[in-house]
Amino acid sequence: MVIRKEKSLNEWKVKLSDRIDFYKFLQFIFHKQWTELKLYANKKGIFIIGDIPIFVAFDSADVWAQKELFSVNREGKLLFVAGVPPDYFSKTGQLWGNPLFNWNEMEKNDFLWWRRRISNLLDLVDIIRIDHFRGFDAYWEIPGNAENAMKGRWVKAPGEKLFATIKKYFGEVPIMAEDLGVITKSVTALREKFEFPGMKILQFAFGTGMETKFLPHNIGFNSTVYTGSHDNDTTRGYFEKARTQDNDIYLHTQKYLNYFGDNITFELIRTAYKTSADTVIIPMQDVLNLGGEARMNFPSTLGGNWSWRFSWDQVQSDMPKTFKELTVLFERPPKPKEKEVEIKIENS
């Protein structure tokens, strides 16, 4: 990491003024166009969900400009990095390599860095999805020179103080919590205290050893239900593999759904719609019933991810009607409440 020096900064501001102004202009144009798009979407009753990853990159402007807020020393060397211990995604855990936060330093000014981040995102989106929510209760601290995420320790984070501060400055912020992975009672308590809806992944529900809290009958109202997430295979790809493997995932799913046909993807979408969860999100790959070739991301791998794109010729003409029927059938959004009739009883 390059160390910030005031004299050098001033010199390069002059030397690179044209390039700096160019990128400022690009950001201005993007913000203008995005604001127009968002206003148009909102007028149509469409709200935009924006992701806020808990951590920032080691080579980010934030770490470069404010090293005291992160787990780097004065020379910019990483002391500790973020990740998660071994889980169902990876046997050696996930080594993300992001610097961790110096929470004690952040608390000194009422989490100003976080307040600015939240404020900026609320200018761009309507609802915030916080990635790796459990890191606000406790985070996996890995030595900066580690080769994988197996050796580390859980460190308590001031999530309650942070969200209470955000509420103090912004009021009720529309937040969704990505609460997957190793979830403890204290993580759940933190989410429930601030009434953030959690994520429920139907692919994780079926089969021996899977998580029964994701079974449709266990999904509560204050939840966001998905068939699968960006870290999963597509639903079709997932169950095609399960069907050929020596486990009971496919059989359990069939019995639970009481469905023995060939389009298990649509049946799982239908099941998601009829859960009690107040929000349903279906990945486009599942809407199109695509196989594993359309998978978005492979956790703890670098390169080749997030490259999938769809084209409009993949969208069948009857698809909007099909999903509108699901929306109406399962009251998503719910029917408007009937106006209450005021009844006055006059004295006789």
Instruction: Point out the residues that are catalytic.
Output: 131, 178, 231
CA–CA separation, 103 vs 162, rounded Å?
10
Rounded Cα gap, residues 13 and 36, in angstroms: 31
Residue 210 CB contacts under 8 Å (≥ 6 apart), including other chains = 204, 249
Gap between the Cα atoms of 277 and 200, Å rounded = 9
- Phi then psi dihedrals of residue 244, to 5 deg: -95, -10
CA distance 256 to 252: 6
Q: Which helix H or strand E contains 170, and what residues bound it?
A: helix 159-170
Cis peptide leading into 336, omega within 30 of 0?
Answer: no
- Rounded Cα gap, residues 224 and 192, in angstroms: 14
Beta-bridge partners for 225: 200, 280
